[in-house]
Amino acid sequence: MGFACVHLLIALLHVGLVASIELTFELPDNQHQCFYEDIKAGVDVVLEFQVVTGGQYDVDMTLEDPAGRQLYKDIKKQYDSYSFKTETPGTYKACFSNEFSTFSHKIVYMDWQIGDQDNLKKAITPGIHAMSQLENSAVAIGERLRMVDDYQTHHRLREATGRKRAEQLNERVMYWSLGQTAVVVLIGIAQVILLRSFFSDKRPRY
């Protein structure tokens, strides 16, 4: 039992090597922003992004390796996920562009996952080592916690997007209502003036 606990502790330390970079940033109109990350060769990487608010909820996104080769490119995308395995070590660059927009500021969410997400399961099952009940439970709990974290992140993003759209719709309805009220008031004033002109006394001219 003691050996299993020590083995499980070592496995959890290996899991700590998995890096996850979550970032929400503002992307002004006619601007672009780049993010850099140093990654070793042979590492599994997942890059996800989503436009939370602003304009038509779209941005241009490119991903380049240390040699400047383009690994991914898409234009006017609301959200996407790209998975790849690094071939060369160095600095990888992810750029987001809002240069096609003239007045819409946007808020973008980015999740950069670096490393094998199954490190826990691999670390505690080397060779023909049979997992104990404790190790099985640790693997199941780790996978479920990761799923819960992903679900919470996506639900927060959807809630933020839905709230922003609801605020924009409410603002448009308010402006429309104010416009309708102004038209009704102007029509009422015009009708009153017109009726008064019909019943006003006019002196005959001699």
Q: What is the pLDDT of residues 184-205, one digit of tens each?
A: 999 989 888 888 887 775 665 6
pLDDT digits (tens, 9 = 90+) for 74-100: 998 888 889 999 999 999 999 999 988
Domain count, the chain: 1
**Residue 204 placed within a domain:** no
Ranges of the chain whose pLDDT falls below 70: 1-20, 116-131, 201-206
Paired tokens of 197: 């002109």
**Residue 177 placed within a domain:** no
**Residue 200 placed within a domain:** no
Instruction: Tell me the residue range of the domain where 92 lies.
Output: 2-161
Paired tokens of 140: 């199941």
Cα distance between residue 76 and residue 111, in whole Å: 18
What pLDDT score was predicted for residue 4? 45
Collect all residues with Cβ–Cβ distance below 8 Å to 18 and sequence separation of at least 6: 113, 114, 115, 116, 117, 119
* Sequence-ordered alpha helix ranges (H) in 89-202: 119-123, 133-199
Cβ 41 vs Cβ 112: under 8 Å: no
Nearest-10 Cα torsion for 156, 94, 144, 78: 40
What pLDDT score was predicted for residue 3? 42
**Residue 6 placed within a domain:** yes
**Residue 34 placed within a domain:** yes
Whichever domain contains 34, its CATH number is 2.60.120.380
**Residue 201 placed within a domain:** no
DSSP H/E element including 14: helix 2-15
Paired tokens of 45: 């990487």
**Residue 93 placed within a domain:** yes
What pLDDT score was predicted for residue 195? 83
What pLDDT score was predicted for residue 16? 43
